[in-house]
C-alpha cells in the first residue's frame, strides 16, 4: 500500500515538472525570437570582419533559401564594397553571394527571419505538445495508483494479506519498469528536436560506402541500385541469400564512390522500387553472420547526436560504423536501419523530386513507413512501443507517395507528401 502511494507521489512530481517544462519552453519562445533578431542584426554587421560569422550566415541563407532579415535590402550599408564572397546588386547594394539564386541577377525574395521563426515555433509547439501528452498519461497513472491504494485499504483482510503482499511485489516490479521508461520517453522526444541541430551542423551522415566484407569466395556476388539505395548481395546454391549489405546514397558523388568500390566485384544493375523493396525485406529477414550487437556507445554520446540510447540507427541520423553495426537493442535497431535506408525519401531541410522538406526529420516513402510500423509492432518490446508511439502518434510524420505526373511552367512532379494515416495502437 505504502509503495503504491509513493509511486503515485513520484509520478505526480514528474507530472508537474514535465508540464512546467513544456509550458515554459513554449512561453519562452517569443523571448528567444527577440534575442535571435538582435543577434542576426549584430552578425550581419560583422560579416566582413568575422569569417566564422560569414560562413554561418552563408550556410543559413543557402539552406533556407533566403536573404537578409526580412528582405534583401536589410544588407544595405552592412558590408563594405570589395569584401570577399560578396557581389554588388542593383548598382550599389553589396550582398553575400549566398543571397543569389543561380546568378546574382536574381536574389532570394524571402527574408531569413520568418523562416527561422517558423522552425523555432514548430519545434516549441512540438516540444510543449509532447511534454503535455506524456504528462497527461502520467496523470492517469496517478489516478489509477490512488484508486488502487483505496481499493487495497478497504478490501484487505487478514486471510487475504498474503495474496495482496504477493500482488504488491509484482506491482513494484511493474512500477520500476515504468519509472525506467519515463526518462527514456523524454530523451526520445527531445533528441529528435535538439539532436537535429547537431545533424544539420554536420550537414549529412558520413558516407559509409561498402564495408568490403564477404562471407565466402565461392558465392555469386551481385550489386543492385535504385535511387538512394545500393544493395550488395551474395548468393549460394539455389540462389539462397548468404550475405546482404545496403548502402545509403545521398548524391551523385556518393553513388559513383559506391560503384567504384563494387565494380571489381560485380557490375551494378538498376532495378525498380518494388524490386528493391522486396530485396530489402529479404535482407531484413536474413540473419547475417557479419552482424554484431555493439554495446560500446555511451548514452550521453548517442543522445548528443540525436540517437536513441541502446541503438545506432534510431534517431535523426545514425552512428553505425558499417551496415552490420547494430546497438544492443538489436531487433529494434534493425527496424530503424531498414527504414533509414529507404530508397525514396526527402531528407530534412532538403529538396528532392521537386518536394521541399522544411522539417527536422526525414520524410520516407509511404511503403517504408508502413513496413516500419509492422516491424515495430512485431518486436513487442517497450522500446519498440515507445518508438512507434513517438513516430506515428505524437510526431505524425508525413510520407512520400507516388502521384500522377503534374507539370507547370517551372516543375514536373511525380511524388507528393501525404499525411500519416496509421496510429500505433
**Contact present, 229 and 342 (Cβ < 8 Å):** yes
241 alpha carbon, distance to own chain's centre: 30
* 402 contacts 366 by C-beta, under 8 angstroms: no
d(CA 321, CA 211): 9
178: left (phi > 0), else alpha (psi -120 to 50), else beta? alpha
Q: Which three cell numbers stand for residue 194?
A: 535538439
Query: Comparing C-alpha atoms, which of 422, 176, 194 is closest to residue 302?
Result: 194
- φ/ψ (deg, to 5) at 355: -120, 130
Catalytic residue among 225, 324, 339, 365: 339
Comparing CA positions, the residue from 204, 249, 205, 252 lying closest to residue 224 is 249
Helix (H) / strand (E) containing 245 = strand 241-248
Cα→Cα distances 330→291, 350, 416, Å: 10, 30, 33
Q: Tell me whether strands 292-293 and 325-326 are parallel, antiparallel or unpaired.
A: parallel
Nearest to 66 by CA among 16, 100, 19, 22: 100
Counting Cα atoms < 13 Å in the Cβ hemisphere of 234 gives: 18
Instruction: Report the candidate in 82, 83, 32, 81 with the shortest Cα–Cα distance to residue 57.
Output: 83
Beta bridge partners of 42: none
203 noted as active-site residue = no
Strand 241-248 to 229-235 pairing: antiparallel
How many whole angstroms separate alpha carbon 270 and alpha carbon 226? 6
Number of Cβ within 10 Å of residue 108's Cβ equals: 19
Q: Which three cell numbers stand for residue 66?
A: 533566403
d(CA 71, CA 65): 12
Q: Which of 369, 370, 404, 408 is catalytic?
A: 369
154 is catalytic: no
Q: How far apart are CA 255 and CA 263, in angstroms?
A: 12
* d(C-alpha 256, C-alpha 348), whole Å: 23
CA–CA gap between residue 423 and residue 394 (Å, rounded): 9
Question: Which residues are catalytically annotated?
Answer: 339, 369
Amino acid at each position: 500500500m505504502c509503495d503504491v502511494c509513493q509511486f503515485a507521489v513520484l509520478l505526480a512530481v514528474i507530472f508537474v515538472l514535465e508540464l512546467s517544462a513544456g509550458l515554459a519552453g513554449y512561453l519562452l519562445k517569443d523571448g528567444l525570437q527577440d534575442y535571435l533578431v538582435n543577434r542576426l542584426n549584430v552578425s550581419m554587421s560583422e560579416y566582413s570582419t568575422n569569417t566564422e560569422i560569414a560562413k554561418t550566415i552563408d550556410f543559413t541563407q543557402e539552406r533556407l533559401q533566403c536573404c537578409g532579415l526580412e528582405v534583401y535590402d536589410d544588407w544595405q550599408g552592412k558590408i563594405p564594397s570589395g569584401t570577399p564572397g560578396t557581389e554588388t546588386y542593383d548598382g550599389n547594394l553589396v550582398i553575400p553571394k549566398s543571397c543569389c539564386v543561380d546568378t546574382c541577377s536574381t536574389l532570394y525574395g524571402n527574408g531569413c527571419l520568418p523562416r527561422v521563426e517558423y522552425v523555432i515555433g514548430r519545434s516549441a509547439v512540438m516540444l510543449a505538445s509532447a511534454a503535455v501528452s506524456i504528462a497527461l498519461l502520467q496523470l492517469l497513472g496517478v489516478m489509477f495508483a490512488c484508486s488502487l491504494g483505496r481499493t487495497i485499504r478497504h478490501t484487505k483482510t487478514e486471510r487475504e494479506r498474503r495474496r495482496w503482499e504477493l500482488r504488491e511485489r509484482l506491482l513494484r516490479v511493474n512500477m520500476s519498469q515504468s519509472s525506467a521508461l519515463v526518462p527514456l520517453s523524454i530523451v526520445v522526444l527531445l533528441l529528435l528536436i535538439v539532436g537535429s541541430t547537431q545533424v544539420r551542423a554536420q550537414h549529412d551522415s558520413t558516407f559509409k560506402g561498402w564495408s568490403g566484407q564477404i562471407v565466402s569466395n565461392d558465392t555469386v556476388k551481385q550489386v543492385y541500385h535504385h535511387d538512394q539505395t545500393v544493395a550488395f548481395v551474395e548468393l549460394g546454391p539455389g540462389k539462397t541469400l548468404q550475405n546482404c549489405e545496403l548502402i545509403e546514397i545521398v548524391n551523385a558523388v556518393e553513388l559513383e564512390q559506391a560503384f567504384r568500390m563494387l565494380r571489381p566485384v560485380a557490375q551494378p544493375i538498376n532495378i525498380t522500387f518494388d524490386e528493391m523493396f522486396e530485396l530489402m525485406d529479404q535482407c531484413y529477414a536474413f540473419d547475417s553472420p557479419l552482424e554484431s550487437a555493439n554495446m560500446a556507445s555511451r548514452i550521453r554520446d548517442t543522445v548528443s547526436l540525436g540517437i536513441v540510447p541502446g541503438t545506432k540507427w534510431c534517431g535523426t541520423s545514425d552512428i553505425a560504423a558499417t551496415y552490420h553495426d547494430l546497438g544492443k537493442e538489436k531487433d529494434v535497431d534493425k527496424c530503424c536501419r531498414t527504414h533509414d535506408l529507404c530508397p525514396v525519401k526527402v531528407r530534412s531541410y532538403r529538396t528532392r523530386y521537386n518536394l521541399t522538406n522544411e522539417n527536422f526529420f526525414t520524410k520516407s516513402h509511404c511503403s517504408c513507413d508502413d513496413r516500419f510500423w509492422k516491424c515495430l509492432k512485431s518486436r513487442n518490446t517497450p522500446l519498440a512501443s515507445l518508438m512507434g508511439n513517438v513516430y506515428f502518434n505524437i510526431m505524425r510524420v508525413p510520407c512520400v507517395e507516388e502521384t500522377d505526373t503534374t507539370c507547370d511552367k517551372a516543375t514536373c512532379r511525380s511524388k507528393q507528401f501525404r499525411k500519416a494515416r496509421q496510429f500505433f495502437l
